[in-house]
Structure 1
Amino acid sequence: MRESAAERHDRLLGLVRERGSARVSDLASQLGVSPVTVRRDVEELAGRGLLDRVHGSVSWPQGAASAAGPGGSGLVLGMLAPSSTYYFSEVIRGAHEAAAGAGARLILRISDYRPQEDQARTEGLLSAGAEGLLIAPGWQHPGDPAAFGDWIASLPVPTVLLERRPTAGSPLDGLDRVCSDHAHGVLLAVRHLVDLGHGAPLLMARADSPTALAVRSGYAEALAVLGLRAPQDVIESVPAELAPDTFDQAVRALHEAVHSGVATAALIHNDVDAIQVVQRLAELGVRVPDDLALIAYDDEVAALADTPLTAVAPPKRDVGRHATELLVERLGQSGGAPRRHLMLLPQLRVRDSCGAPLS
């Protein structure tokens, strides 16, 4: 199976962490890829604060490398994330900044959304010296926590879950965790559209991540809170690059709902899908915001659309920061302190895609 960019990033970070610094040409040889590929990877990782670049070489960031120095805690923290890009790049950045601020060293493993590999990658973090763990399992489907999660509750070091809410009453429910309150984020979006004079918006969403599933359940909760009924069933979406025909069917379903007057507003998870939906709707004669008020969920690239998209912005960087601070605090305690479930509230960033209030 061809190695993904996330897996290559994981190996690159591991090499630099072990050596402290390395030349780009040496990394290319070790990784079995071209120097151009390594330079591109290094630029991306350095942009997220995970590496430092100096004259053809890269080094482990000073804040992490000096953790055992004067004033440093000497702690080594391990982080498992499902991806190093899109949503989780900001979570990782927040964790890295908080670790450096505490004088701790953060080491990273990426699962590439393969939950069956989470345990092995976490064992790698422990073997590398991690004294505490930040875990965001690569779950995608509702059954994944039960199938691939029991091992987390028996880890031998303090552990904080990131952006994951296990089943209530399960062993994982007793762990510390820090999450975005996606139900609150969806409520902000639906209320904003209703305040502009629209009826209940349609939801177009994926079902391939915990965030997507939380947006779906949050949508039902928001409608109940506001005393609204969904204008029709949720429009099932998939990544356009993986299933273009299925994605086009979803766009056409949204087009039909607008054309027939079923809805004048929509919430779409995620940003990338929302931008592609707007482009395809324009080809079909539906304009945003003139014919459809639209809000995206995630706010990674929503502001870069031709018509900047209003978007719900989960506090991704703060999730990483607060989780790391909680883990450092937990490592400094002798035990017995109550576990914590910390929910951080998303914000609604209003741009142009909802238009003016309806008269």
Structure 2
Amino acid sequence: MRESAAERHDRLLGLVRARGTARVAELAVQLGVSPVTVRRDVEALAEQGRLDRVHGSVSWPRQTAGPVAGGGGSPTGPVIGLLAPSATYYFAEVIRGAHEAAARAGARLILRISDYRPEEDRSGAEGLLAAGAEGLLVAPGWRSPDDPAEHGDWITELPVPAVLLERRATGGSALDALDRVCSDHRHGVLLAVRHLVGLGHGAPLLVARADSPTALAVRSGYAEALSALGLRASHPVIDSVPAELRPERFEDAVRALHTAVVSGGVTAALVHNDMDAIKIVQRLSGLGVRVPDDLALIAYDDEVAALADTPLTAVAPPKREVGRHATDLLVQRLRAKPSGDGEEAPRQHLTLLPRLRVRASCGALEGG
């Protein structure tokens, strides 16, 4: 069976840890891969703070020489493991926030990526524990509504404190009793819908994926937002998929949105996510539909929305803040002393509200 990147990273880390310092060329020979692959792995691991890189060599990270300024941290602070479904796009900012908070607390952050394979989450967490993690930040690679029940029970059995990141558990489940920090995507959708209605549009049409917890939350939030504002959708939700994976289905989504606009029934849309939104705007332009003239559009995620030819108004979940707050909460758990009666502090569910960043694509800036 082909070795995964995570497994190769573990072998690389093991070699460096055993030797203290190693050259990239030597690691390539020992790992049985090309120097280019090792350089990429080293770059990724160095960005995560798991290795130090200097002039063609890598070494095991040195302990912090002293407390982090202003953070009150210890040079021998806790080791925190972060299990994330991806280190790019949405979760890049979550990881960055966690890394910042860990550094401020004098803690060390180590990372494992599941590539949205929930069946591998447990082994990823075990790898973090084996690497010395004393507490875990866990963002499982769930995709479908059934994944928490099928691939979530192991989190409640962890031998160390854990905080869920950007994931909600079913009410009443054992997972629901864990600490968690999440963005309130339902509120984010409400911000977008209310903004478009305030500009004079009817119920906006939703174009959304269904392949992640965020996508599912956006979909459910859309129905709640329409109900809260007394609106009724004139068209069903348009199912979208990544254009690079299923170009024919992505084109179907574009065509469905184009038909809804030219028929005169839709003048506004919310699109999850903004990478899809940028591509949709480009395709609509080729079909004669202009944004914002013919269609006011808001994207969801705000990763690259501002970089579009027509900068996209976007809902921006507080991704970096989620990482920071979750890390702070976990550090508090790790350093907390039991109360006089031996009880630990109450568990926390912290929900952070997204912001709406208004740009040109919704038409609100015209003439301003």
Hey, what's the Cα distance between the residues in 2 that align with 1:266 and 1:187?
13
**Aligned match of 2:192:** 189
Gaps of 5+ in 2: 68-72
**Aligned match of 1:66:** 64
- Give the direction of change, closer, same or farther, for the CA distance of 1:213–1:293 in structure 2 (3 Å limit): same
**1:150 is the counterpart of 2:157:** no
Amino acid at match of 1:249: D
SS of 2:326's equivalent in the other structure is helix
**1:57 is the counterpart of 2:57:** yes
Hey, what's the Cα distance between the residues in 1 that align with 2:14 and 2:90?
22
Hey, what's the Cα distance between the residues in 2 that align with 1:16 and 1:188?
48
- Give the direction of change, closer, same or farther, for the CA distance of 1:172–1:126 in structure 2 (3 Å limit): same
Hey, what's the Cα distance between the residues in 1 that align with 2:121 and 2:180?
17
Hey, what's the Cα distance between the residues in 2 that align with 1:247 and 1:233?
16
**Aligned match of 1:228:** 231
Hey, what's the Cα distance between the residues in 1 that align with 2:223 and 2:93?
28
- Give the direction of change, closer, same or farther, for the CA distance of 1:6–1:125 in structure 2 (3 Å limit): closer
Amino acid at match of 2:345: A
Q: If the length of structure 1 is used for normalisation, what is the TM-score?
A: 0.91
SS of 2:361's equivalent in the other structure is coil
**Aligned match of 1:163:** 166
Gaps of 5+ in 1: none
**1:248 is the counterpart of 2:246:** no
**1:141 is the counterpart of 2:139:** no
Amino acid at match of 2:349: H
Q: If the length of structure 2 is used for normalisation, what is the TM-score?
A: 0.89
**1:308 is the counterpart of 2:316:** no
Hey, what's the Cα distance between the residues in 1 that align with 2:228 and 2:263?
27
Verify the 8 A CA contact 1:6 1:112 in the aligned structure 2. no
- Give the direction of change, closer, same or farther, for the CA distance of 1:133–1:80 in structure 2 (3 Å limit): same
SS of 1:112's equivalent in the other structure is coil
Verify the 8 A CA contact 1:197 1:357 in the aligned structure 2. no
**Aligned match of 1:95:** 98
- Give the direction of change, closer, same or farther, for the CA distance of 1:21–1:179 in structure 2 (3 Å limit): farther
- Give the direction of change, closer, same or farther, for the CA distance of 1:353–1:49 in structure 2 (3 Å limit): farther
Verify the 8 A CA contact 2:188 2:356 in the aligned structure 1. yes
What is the number of residues matched between the two proteins?
Answer: 357
Which of 165, 179, 183 aligns to 1:180? It is 183
**Aligned match of 2:23:** 23
Hey, what's the Cα distance between the residues in 2 that align with 1:347 and 1:309?
14
Amino acid at match of 1:55: H
* Deviations 1:195-254 (CA, angstroms, capped at 9, x unpaired): 111111100000000000000011111111111111211000111111111110011000
**1:124 is the counterpart of 2:119:** no
Which of 324, 345, 350 aligns to 2:353? It is 345
**Aligned match of 1:276:** 279
The 5 Å alignment of 1:71-86 reads 71-86=74-89
Paired-residue identity, %: 77
SS of 1:353's equivalent in the other structure is helix
1:2: how far off?
Answer: 5.6
Hey, what's the Cα distance between the residues in 2 that align with 1:74 and 1:265?
50
- Give the direction of change, closer, same or farther, for the CA distance of 1:221–1:13 in structure 2 (3 Å limit): farther
Larger Rg: 2
Hey, what's the Cα distance between the residues in 2 that align with 1:346 and 1:241?
28
Amino acid at match of 1:267: L
**Aligned match of 2:34:** 34
Amino acid at match of 2:117: R
Verify the 8 A CA contact 1:67 1:75 in the aligned structure 2. no
**Aligned match of 1:354:** 362
